[in-house]
Amino acid sequence: MTRRIRLIADDYGLAPGVSAAILELLDRGRLTGTSCMTGFPEWEGEAARIKPLRDRAAIGLHLTLTDQPAITGQSSLAPEGRLPPLRSLALPILSGRVDDRDIHAELDAQYGRFVEALDRQPDFIDGHQHVHFLPVVRKWLRARFSEAGGSRPALRGAPALGDAAAAPKVAAIATLAAGFNRSMQRAGFTIFAPLTGIYDWRQPDRFAPALQAAIKALPERGLFMCHPGHVDATLRARDPMQSVREAEFAVLASGDFGASLARAGVGIMGGEG
């Protein structure tokens, strides 16, 4: 084994089928860890299922500011109690129409539910639709983990250039993430970087080539994000990213994937990652 890379699954807790698929891949050693959405009614039960893996998997917090119910209810962030779509989030925040305190309260609530259920802070933090790169969330991260000498979770860093077909998407995320790695490192955070795994999920057949490219090119401790899952009624009601999750799961669970890692001399980091 010449290199070890991180494979992190987003969205644990989004729906029972998603959580079950991620737990299966963790059990098979096909993932480094997963980041958790804590705002749904099922969270307590899903936390109990993943809690026994705390010592061998990296378990993070998936900050969520879009599309789902707000834990904190109605506010300037969620006027009707539901978090806005991504396209309706950034401009109101940047123009001051959303109170930073409402955003921070929602993030505090998500963080609090994680700590209460798992009895410790997250190993790392990232964001649903990359919202952790927003300036207001950077501010929250610095404030939440500002205690002198206190440990800080790692953070998912900015994306690396990759598949030309995904270049516009990567460029948009990189713009949002401008300055993130350097500024958060100065604040004392470890950064998981470079980030790969960005592709057009409306074309599920692009996942396997993106994964193979990462196996070949990622440096030691580089990060590949993924979204495996099984489709169920809950997922259909909550998220448009559906059948592609089955495709990602099939690739990650396959013997071909294990063989490709072995041929490349690449290992998947465990919870120490």
Q: What's the CATH code of the domain at 132? A: 3.20.20.370
The answer to whether position 194 is within a domain reads yes
The answer to whether position 87 is within a domain reads yes
Q: Compute the mean pLDDT over every residue in the chain, rounded to the nearest whole number.
A: 93
Predicted confidence (pLDDT) per residue in 86-125, tens digit: 888 877 777 778 999 999 999 999 999 999 999 999 999 9
Q: CA 246, CA 150: separation in Å to the nearest integer?
A: 39
Predicted pLDDT at 167 = 85
The answer to whether position 30 is within a domain reads yes
Q: Using alpha carbons, list the distances in angstroms from residue 45 to 53, 182, 232, 234.
A: 14, 37, 17, 15
Q: Which residues span the domain enclosing 109?
A: 3-268
Mean pLDDT of 58-70: 97
Domain count of the fold of the chain: 1
Predicted pLDDT at 147 = 62
Report strand pairing: 33-36 vs 3-12.
parallel
pTM of the model: 0.95
Q: Taking 90 as the threshold, does the pLDDT of residue 144 lie above it?
A: yes
The answer to whether position 9 is within a domain reads yes
Predicted pLDDT at 163 = 55
The answer to whether position 273 is within a domain reads no
The answer to whether position 103 is within a domain reads yes
The answer to whether position 207 is within a domain reads yes
Predicted pLDDT at 273 = 54
The answer to whether position 242 is within a domain reads yes
Predicted pLDDT at 162 = 59
